[in-house]
Structure 1
């Protein structure tokens, strides 16, 4: 009788990491087997919690020797099933949580993958610098996961995605070797830029254990406004005028539909109506500057005054204090959370060229409403960088399970329009499991082939987060929510 390939693996890991950091009890595993939306539930042999890069390398090498998959996991705030394990070992990076170095003059921070985004933001602020990545889950999401999914957020308009905020990485490879690419250089032409292989790869090519992040001058002033307008087309015109007038001072332009504001006011505790009347569309605008004497409010008032005279802005309110600014941002930040109170939601995280974002919202809204009478479209998000969360809320009174069973039909409607507008079916949430098979329908076949080539080259035995992003031969089907 042959021994199981996993025989002795847990004991070997516990001997190196300590028994307390190798979790096998079902009750302790439970929180690591499902992501925040609960769309997929997996299973695992154990959750391991290494405390150093060398321990991560040991875990990966031992799992590779035993032929056991490794699923890296940060704060487990993902939305596409990318962190859900289907067998093998969950590798939690929570204990790798040190700020290793911070260089204000070079404007860089070297941080470990288990640092929460908020901890990195706070460390930068303590040095009078800004780390600009900003997400609703910043108190619990971790930098390793942010980089592995190439996270976006509300500041992409000014600072770019997570990929744009990285200068170097430290990565554990599928055979347990450690690649040390932690250089804080803005110019380095010594061959291939390896870090870009791992940012956005969702742990399928290597496990990020540390990163060199870019810092920026900390804003000393902010000016926030909440605008009401007649349509997505009007919002696009407003955005273009603000960008022309304010340049890099325009750091956020978030779009909210009427339905979105209505459900926030209905369900979010403490939400206050920002404008007296109702409007078909809204925009949350922020200007910021590192100059303490910048007249941001004056600049905003001047542009908005002209837009109001032209009828593009129907009504507006400006935050007169930091408390009022936070109250306006609260309306946007609660929008994702409150949707669950209205029933089932079929979600799409898509991007189109900024010039086509209003066309997309209008065309996709009409197509989806025609496909299911009573459907409520909640299209919102990062208008200034072309990323729209095109979420579809079930008709009032419809059975939730029956509604979610329509996910694939609405994927085809929405994603076909995105493709025709030269867009992307995943803007900032990643591919994971939920969009893995969808990717093959819309990605250039040559690109898919190159992705498979990279996966086989860097992870020849397919032990790193198998089944995610790209499907190799024989891997499990990626059932959509409502069908599995």
Structure 2
């Protein structure tokens, strides 16, 4: 049963109309569910505002009644950042899904926060442009959620994180007022950069309602290869070689361990191994160019030949068709799904300086093996920007729950190593509820103090997404 004041419910219903809210159990169940199943929400009401004015009215009503709001996009997050309790309401922006403008001269898109990432990607392609943010959940995640978590994804090495793709924002503040920073300016030194306060803040400082985003020319040429490498050190040397020899045309450079490759090809239908001989480590390289006369296949072929001669690779397959390229990407993107077929998995979204990725992997796998004999490391990810999804699969003979009970202990081992290497315990998934205590443990006292000061200054009553990032 909900515990919200009846008067507040009535005011919210009147402000939004019959399509703007729900208290039905089946609908609430989808919003209270959490992607990994680690948390269970208990909100008794979800709000669906249709425009910024309605968002502002909802926030003002909730502020008057002392009701906290949990903003929610596509609910695809991995850290419990959109989980609400019974005393809170969920505010979902799915009705605010317009692509307001695609400007091919400014190379910008202006969108509402509820727009689906894939919808924006397709709208940009229709104008011979791209929005380069690319995630496994792009068919369901919303732009507002991408902004709120500063999502990373597959193209960070070339285009940066979500933060690097944003020009301006419109944000509803905790008292219901609206900050209009929806600028297309690429240079603006008029005081503090307020935009950056809200990107990555997980809805704890304000509710992003619109954004001005950067677009780029659509690549005319793409070349993709799957490469067997001796190990992570060779992968980094290959990355350096590829950056130099391609003129920094790398759009993606992904490291995949042999176990991740093997289980994905084995469990997911329609996939085929790119290379005949197995390897303990692979990288997937993709080059792109918007120049009309580039022959990236030749560039990548020459690069791979040089890598083979230098001992940085033992074998390689250059995609010769879109179907072959799709197969390579399906292997890479299918790893999280394939892990489910092998039992329980304990996952880490961490980053270290690129040069220290090999040390992270060596130390982390050794420590995990000492803690849980027979554990199966499954590291993969964006080695080009230092972000490794350092996952572990349960030993074959171990019970799933017994393995999952080791989650916190294994977290501590890996996060201690990450901290020792000058890294981050959250590379691209955020903090949410999952890493709240971990952030407090690993961040400096000065950082935690500043985070608290900012939260208290902008949201002194703690009305927006309480219990996320800072307690």
Common topology (TM > 0.5) = yes
2:312 equivalent to 1:312: yes
Corresponding residue for residue 402 of structure 1:
402
Residues 76-95 of structure 1 aligned to structure 2 (within 5 Å) = 76-87=75-86, 88-95=88-95
Q: Distance in 1 between matches of 2:6 and 2:192?
A: 39
Task: Give the whole-Å Cα distance in 1 for the aligned partners of 2:64 and 2:77.
Answer: 29
**TM-score normalized with structure 2 length:** 0.98
Secondary structure in 2 matching 1:247: coil
How far off its partner does 1:5 sit?
A: 6.6
Deviates more, 1:247-256 or 1:200-209: 247-256
Alignment correspondent of 2:109: 109
Contact 1:268 1:338 in 2 (8 A): yes
Bigger mean CA deviation after superposition, 245-254 or 435-444: 245-254
In structure 2, the residue matched to 1:356 is 356
- Counterpart position of 1:46: 45
Counterparts of 1:152 and 1:361, CA distance in 2:
21
Q: Distance in 1 between matches of 2:289 and 2:446?
A: 43
User: In 1, Cα distance between the equivalents of 2:292 and 2:339?
Assistant: 38
The RMSD of aligned alpha carbons is: 1.0
The unaligned stretches of length 5 or more in structure 2 are none
Deviates more, 1:167-176 or 1:308-317: 308-317
Is 1:59 aligned to residue 64 of structure 2? no
User: 2-side partners of 1:156 and 1:184: how far apart?
Assistant: 21
1:17-416 matched pairs, under 5 angstroms: 17-87=16-86, 88-416=88-416
Relative to 1, partners in 2 of residues 1:129 and 1:75: Cα closer, same or farther, differing over 3 Å?
same
Alignment partners' CA distance in 1, 2:4 and 2:33:
25
Structure 2 Cα separation of the partners of residues 5 and 137 of structure 1: 32
Cα distance in 1 between the residues matched to 2:258 and 2:358: 15
CA distance in 2 between partners of 1:444 and 1:219 (Å): 42
**Does the CA-based 8 Å contact 1:349-1:427 persist in structure 2?**
yes
Tell me, in whole angstroms, the C-alpha distance in 2 between the residues paired with 1:94 and 1:429: 21
Query: Aligned equivalents of 1:220 and 1:47: distance in 2?
Result: 43
Paired positions, count: 468
Q: TM-score, normalised by structure 1?
A: 0.95
2:10 aligns with: 11
Q: Is the 8 Å Cα contact of residues 34 and 41 (structure 2) preserved in structure 1?
A: no
Contact 2:242 2:248 in 1 (8 A): no
1:41-62 CA-partner distances (Å, limit 9, x unpaired): 0111200100000000101110
The answer to whether structure 1 residue 460 and structure 2 residue 465 are counterparts is: no
Counterpart contact for 1:6–1:68, Cα < 8 Å: no
Alpha-carbon offset, residue 467 of structure 1: 0.5
Query: Partners of 1:5 and 1:379 in 2: how far apart?
Result: 44
Partners of 2:394 and 2:59 lie apart in 1 by: 43
**1:10–1:22: 8 Å Cα contact kept in structure 2?**
no
Q: Structure 1 stretches of 5 or more lacking a match?
A: 472-484
Please say if residues 228 and 314 of structure 2, whose CA atoms lie closer than 8 Å, have aligned partners that are also in contact: yes
